[in-house]
Structure 1
Amino acid sequence: MRASGGHTDCQEVLYRTVFRRNPPDKTRWPAYKSAFRLPPVSQSRIDDVVAGALTWTEVDLVNIDDSSSRPLRDALEEFGIRVHYHPVGQPRHIVTALGSDRTVAPFVVLGCHGDEGRILLPELGEPIASDQPFNGLLGPDEVRRHLRLPGSFVVSIGCETGRPELAEAFLDAGAVGYFAPQEAPDGHVAFLVALLFFYELTGGMAAVEAAQRARRYDAATHMWRLWSR
């Protein structure tokens, strides 16, 4: 667990992590730094961690073959969040993490790839494939049948996972909110939206408002849509 010491550190986490793998052209560096000047947080929940608390919330981070999940885990821990990291190699792992007797965290992040309102899963061979509850895709039917998310807020960063049918399925599975892109964002944009969402939460903002703030960041992030109950 790592915790930073305030607003400046939060801003630096966003700036440093987003561009670690895809740094901008050096001539545009000042402009990019200016773009990451975030509004001040009057009372950050990170301050509670600095003062001795172990964490202020928890996240189940489900990594379904997504390269940004590990750096996202690091960034969330910088925000004072306890991250339960679940690398997924087969559908049974998803069911164990989000549909079993274990208590699901208040927030769930799906690091995944999607297509037309379904989450893509690793291709499996036999005999492993025949032992799975489902194969290939996690769609609305599979979500309703296998996942149990009572009271959790779900953030998906997979392409085209912000379709109404999939969103309603997550809400039917017990989620209080579902936040995902309707189209296919660039990888760094998806990563940024997740960071912005949790950054707003550190300031005490409610999840619904934090999601709306994150999607309003620029034209690229506007493709995210929020469903809630």
Structure 2
Amino acid sequence: MDNAKIKNILILVIGGTGNEPEALRQSLEYFGYFVAIKYIGRPNDLTSVLKGDLPFDADCIILSCHGEDGEIIMPVLGEEVYEPDEPKGNITASDIDKYLKLKDKLILNLGCTTGEKDLAKAFSKKNTYIASDDYIEGSAALYFAVSLFYEMSKGTDLDKAYKTSKETDSETKLFKIFR
């Protein structure tokens, strides 16, 4: 992926991630990126984005979320609130396989364990995917993202920016890149 193409970033907020999305947006806009935030309230909000229904032509999608056991933790809705055929429970690799139509995007997932093999494989079929393969401290995930985009804003290629950003400490080393 040519990071010179990365100009427009969409942050998807899934669940309660504190001020992480706002901190990311402020930092990345300061680096010169156009950044928008979309709050995901239900599984179909996420699946529509995965299918390509984007509010603008985003080059990069950042998932500000929580993860567990290689799944994206989704808010629980009342049974009567789910729409027909809407995924229930956490988003799994099979859900990503089913819904992901995006291609040639950089997808950065800040949720714990979202870099585990099956989920990473599903996201990286047609995209570059970066995620932690274990339980990462939240501030380290934020730092990694800010560092990655800072490096790329200076013209550093994605691979070098990734290597620089992950070498900070034992927490940032948990991020892996998948293609």
Query: For 1:100-139, what aligned pairs fall within 5 Å after superposition?
Result: 100-102=52-54, 104-131=57-84, 133-139=86-92
- Distance between the aligned counterparts of 1:179 and 1:104, measured in 2? 20
How far residue 165 of structure 1 moved from its aligned partner, in angstroms, is 0.9
Structure 1 position 153 matched with structure 2 position 106:
yes
SS at match of 2:124: helix
RCO higher in structure (CA 8 A, sep ≥6): 2
Query: For 1:1-229, what aligned pairs fall within 5 Å after superposition?
Result: 57-65=7-15, 66-67=17-18, 68-102=20-54, 104-131=57-84, 133-172=86-125, 174-175=126-127, 177-228=128-179
Counterpart residue type for residue 162 of structure 2: A
Distance 1:220 1:89, change over 3 A: same
- Distance between the aligned counterparts of 1:109 and 1:101, measured in 2? 15
User: Which consecutive aligned stretches of 4+ in structure 1 deviate over 3 angstroms post-superposition?
Assistant: 100-104
- Distance between the aligned counterparts of 1:93 and 1:182, measured in 2? 25
How far residue 133 of structure 1 moved from its aligned partner, in angstroms, is 2.3
The count of aligned residue pairs is 172
How far residue 130 of structure 1 moved from its aligned partner, in angstroms, is 4.0
For residues 190-215 of structure 1, give each alpha carbon's deviation from its aligned partner in whole angstroms, at most 9, with x where no partner exists.
Answer: 11000011011011122222112111
- Distance between the aligned counterparts of 1:120 and 1:146, measured in 2? 17
How far residue 150 of structure 1 moved from its aligned partner, in angstroms, is 0.9
The answer for unaligned runs of 5 or more in structure 1 is 1-44, 46-55
Distance 1:152 1:164, change over 3 A: same
Distance 1:131 1:70, change over 3 A: farther
- Distance between the aligned counterparts of 2:85 and 2:144, measured in 1? 32
How far residue 218 of structure 1 moved from its aligned partner, in angstroms, is 1.7
How far residue 132 of structure 1 moved from its aligned partner, in angstroms, is 5.3
- Distance between the aligned counterparts of 2:76 and 2:60, measured in 1? 27
**% identity of equivalent residues:** 27
For residues 176-196 of structure 1, give each alpha carbon's deviation from its aligned partner in whole angstroms, at most 9, with x where no partner exists.
Answer: x11111111111111100001
Counterpart residue type for residue 50 of structure 2: L
SS at match of 1:200: helix
How far residue 100 of structure 1 moved from its aligned partner, in angstroms, is 3.4
How far residue 85 of structure 1 moved from its aligned partner, in angstroms, is 1.1
- Distance between the aligned counterparts of 1:91 and 1:116, measured in 2? 18
